[in-house]
A and B are shown apart, each in its own frame.
Chain A
Amino acid sequence: MKVIIMGCGRVGAHLAAMLDGEGHEVTVIDTDAYSFRRLPPAFKGTTLLGNGVDEEVLRKAGIEQADAFVAVTQGDNRNIMANQIARHIFNVPKVICRIYDPLRQELFDTLGLETVSSTTIFAHILKEKLEA
């Protein structure tokens, strides 16, 4: 599977390393080259410096052949916009994004994006732990 990950923060880098380890073809995009330090030395995938909300950058990352696109930058809006580009302009089959703001997540869920809100998930886990 060819996967493009936008945002090489802790989550992005970790996901990239896992998929790479399983033999998938991974490309990671970030606006800051320093972020790529988070990738393990054994990472065999591609790193690309650029902004994932720019169609040219996505094309360079090979989005036209991608099977999946994941947006995990710090910016909810950037993730939302990149996902919509991947879906509506490039017709990528599987598109997922992280949205911190639960209200925004709710809306874009109803608009057909596949979203994950780490905020709600983490709050739930903490609550369960407290009650255990």
Chain B
Amino acid sequence: MYIIIIGGGRLGYYLAKALLNEEHEVLIVEKNATVCETIIGELGSICIRGDGCEATTLTEIGTGRADMLIAVTGDDEDNLVSCQLAKHKFNVPHTIARIRNPQNEALFKKLGIDATVSSTNIILEHIKGEVPTHPLTHLLTIRDKGLEIVEVKIPPDAATVGKSIKELSLPPGSKLALLIHKERKPRIPAASTILQAGDQIIAVTTPESEEALRTALRGA
């Protein structure tokens, strides 16, 4: 695949390295001359100096035949414009934008950017998962199906400790996939499974019923 990366910062650099290892054709567009030289020195001539938001630059590097354009500069607005140019002027089939402000996810999606990655959100979720009292952690989002996989921890004082799964009023569309207890092997929860303090539950749900799922599993 021919993959264009806009932005040669740390993220762009390591992304290029990983994609080169998978034997893709990779080109980085970077504004800063010094950064450009460093990348060329280390990875070979896979970087050109230019503005990835300018149609002339994108024409020069043959964006028309690119399979994918990934914009990973530090500015959301630059990433948006690069992806929109690629999408609408050069018909690049797949565009991915890095976003810093998690709020921008909805806008980018609305404007036809194929995928967004919010480093802020990813880091936030990881940190929240490390906080022992945090009720619900997002593990994975299956975007095109509108589903997410979450982890819910059952604290010792939860109203649901000692209850069986069938006694819980789980929201429709939510499925409990796995129950992890600290001393026993992980298992698929059955209707008769009794919840215990410290249990970790992995569930599939939708963003809308996330709150209801949390309440059902931990009590109000």
A residues engaging B (CB < 8 A)? 53-56, 75-78, 80-81, 84-85, 88-89, 101, 103-104, 107-108, 110-111
Contacts and interface: CB of A to CB of B under 8 A. Distances in A.
A89 B107 contact: yes
A83 to B, nearest CB: 11
Contacts of B85: 104, 107
Given A54-B101, A101-B54, A104-B54, A80 B77 contact: yes
A77 B88 CA distance: 16
Given A103-B56, A104-B53, A107-B88, A80 B80 contact: yes
A63 to B, nearest CB: 13
The DSSP consensus for interface residues of chain B is helix
B119 to A, nearest CB: 17
B78 interface: yes
B46 to A, nearest CB: 25
A76 B75 CA distance: 13
A91 B101 CA distance: 21
Contact of A103 (B54, B75, B111): B54
Contact of A89 (B53, B84, B106): B106
A29 to B, nearest CB: 15
Contacts of B21: none
Nearest to A73: B77
A53 B110 contact: no
Across the A-B interface, the 10 shortest Cβ-Cβ residue pairs = A77-B77, A81-B77, A103-B55, A77-B81, A78-B77, A77-B78, A55-B103, A81-B80, A88-B110, A107-B89
Interface string B157-176: 00000000000000000000
Report the contact-size class of chain B (Cβ under 8 Å from the partner): 20 to 34
B104 to A, nearest CB: 8
B76 interface: yes
A103 B84 CA distance: 13
Given A103-B54, A103-B55, A107-B88, A77 B103 contact: no
Q: Looking at B80, B81, B88, which has the most chain A CB atoms within 10 Å of its CB?
A: B81
A110 B54 CA distance: 16
B55 A107 contact: yes
Interface in B36-54: 53-54
B76 A76 contact: no
B80 A77 contact: yes
A76 B106 CA distance: 21
B59 to A, nearest CB: 9
15 contacts: A53-B76, A75-B77, A76-B81, A77-B75, A77-B78, A81-B80, A81-B107, A84-B80, A84-B111, A85-B107, A88-B110, A89-B107, A101-B54, A107-B88, A108-B84
B107 A84 contact: yes
